[in-house]
């Protein structure tokens, strides 16, 4: 019946149709399903956001740690200068104390007290400096470790982005090819039938044509009556599923 006049009355279950149009419609559904799948794949591809976020967090920690390290190093330098000043002052007082130039007992006692006070200050500063040195060394190790981690994450991100860009190009290339095939195919389908197809596809989750599997509608998985199956096999009419309304199609062979 491939040469019959096309007649579309979409109000009923069956509609006279040219067999080639039905075959093209099924091919269009397969193309659209592949296009929908690839578009979903493209949307699901991570553009590196998670790795970039992880890298940014590591960089932020590194900035904070470097700032803390600089603070401790500055404090250490200040204490070392203060210690140097105290040592010099203590040395001068000790020279005065033991030079023999000062004989007044009260003045000697005062100098001795100052030397002892400077000695206690020196001890406290040396203890604090030792603690700061340990902390600074710890921070230096942590900074070096975090710098290595940041560098590793940067390499991982770049490698991932290279793979991501390659996958995007592959998906886009496939989509472009499928869309060109689609344009060629729809130019060969009766406009009224194409309109019905697009109408159903919009309302049926992208699936306007249901491929019959055995005796079941591939769209809603409902068993089809024998009369409907017979018309689907003949391919002389457009047959829609009484349950889901999709166009039924049976692959031959």
In-domain check, residue 219: yes
In-domain check, residue 245: yes
Q: What number is the average pLDDT over the span 153-182?
A: 97
Tell me the pLDDT tens digit for each residue of 29-77: 999 999 999 999 999 999 999 999 999 999 999 999 999 999 999 999 9
Nearest to 194 by CA among 3, 22, 30: 22
**pLDDT value of residue 235:** 83
| Domain carrying residue 54 | 49-180
| End-of-domain residue from the set 157, 180, 203 | 180
Q: Which residues are registered as beta bridge partners of 240?
A: 247
In-domain check, residue 34: no
Torsion, Cα 80 85 90 96, to 10 degrees, reads: 160
Cα–Cα–Cα angle for 205, 227, 10, rounded to 5 degrees: 45
Please report which confidence band the pLDDT of residue 15 belongs to, taking 50, 70 and 90 as the band edges. low
- Say whether pLDDT at 4 is over 80: no
Are 75 and 175 members of one domain?
A: yes
Are 176 and 211 members of one domain?
A: no
State the DSSP string of 23-41.
HHHHHHHHHHHHHHHHHHH
Residues 150, 59 contacting (CB under 8 angstroms):
yes
**pLDDT value of residue 102:** 74
In-domain check, residue 33: no
| 231/225 Cα distance (integer angstroms) | 10
**pLDDT value of residue 40:** 96
Are 109 and 173 members of one domain?
A: yes
Are 98 and 153 members of one domain?
A: yes
b/e sequence 157-169, b meaning 16+ C-beta within 10 Å: beebeeebeeeee
Are 152 and 173 members of one domain?
A: yes
Are 156 and 89 members of one domain?
A: yes
For residue 221, the tally of other CB atoms under 10 A from its CB is 11
Are 85 and 64 members of one domain?
A: yes
Sign of the torsion angle spanned by Cα atoms 184, 187, 188, 192: positive
Residues 219, 207 contacting (CB under 8 angstroms):
yes
> Based on the structure, what is the number of domains in the chain?
2
| End-of-domain residue from the set 180, 211, 231 | 180
| End-of-domain residue from the set 134, 149, 180 | 180
pTM: 0.67
Are 129 and 201 members of one domain?
A: no
Tell me the pLDDT tens digit for each residue of 100-116: 777 788 887 887 898 89
Q: Say which range, 156-165, 207-216, 234-243, has the weakest mean pLDDT.
A: 234-243
Are 137 and 202 members of one domain?
A: no
Q: 């344009």: which residue's tokens? A: 183
In-domain check, residue 241: yes
| 149/59 Cα distance (integer angstroms) | 9
Are 238 and 158 members of one domain?
A: no
Please give the residue that has the higher pLDDT: either 14 or 111: 111
Are 55 and 175 members of one domain?
A: yes
**pLDDT value of residue 253:** 62
Q: What number is the average pLDDT over the span 134-154?
A: 96
Are 155 and 197 members of one domain?
A: no
Nearest to 52 by CA among 151, 168, 157, 150: 157
Q: Percentage of the chain with pLDDT > 90?
A: 76
Q: 């009355």: which residue's tokens? A: 9
């Amino acid at each position: 019946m491939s040469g019959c006049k096309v007649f579309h009355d979409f109000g009923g279950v069956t509609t006279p149709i040219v067999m080639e149009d039905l075959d093209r419609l099924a091919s269009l559904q397969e193309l659209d399903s592949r296009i929908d799948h690839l578009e979903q794949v493209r949307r699901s591809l991570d553009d590196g956001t998670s790795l970039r976020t992880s890298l940014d967090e590591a960089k932020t920690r590194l900035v904070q740690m470097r700032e803390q390290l600089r603070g401790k190093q500055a404090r250490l330098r200040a204490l070392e200068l203060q210690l140097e000043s105290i040592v010099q002052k203590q040395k001068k007082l000790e020279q005065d104390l033991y030079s023999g130039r000062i004989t007044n007992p009260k003045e000697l006692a005062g100098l001795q007290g100052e030397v002892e006070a400077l000695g206690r200050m020196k001890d406290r500063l040396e203890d604090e400096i030792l603690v700061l040195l340990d902390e600074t060394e710890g921070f230096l190790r942590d900074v070096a470790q975090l710098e290595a981690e940041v560098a590793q994450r940067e390499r991982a991100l770049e490698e991932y982005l290279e793979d991501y860009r390659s996958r995007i190009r592959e998906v886009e290339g496939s989509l472009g090819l499928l869309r060109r095939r689609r344009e060629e195919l729809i130019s060969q389908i009766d406009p009224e039938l194409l309109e019905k197809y697009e109408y159903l596809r919009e309302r049926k989750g992208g699936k306007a044509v249901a491929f019959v599997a055995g005796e079941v509608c591939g769209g809603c998985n409902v068993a089809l009556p024998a009369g409907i199956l017979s018309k689907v096999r003949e391919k002389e009419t457009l047959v829609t599923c009484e349950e889901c309304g999709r166009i039924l199609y049976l692959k031959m062979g």
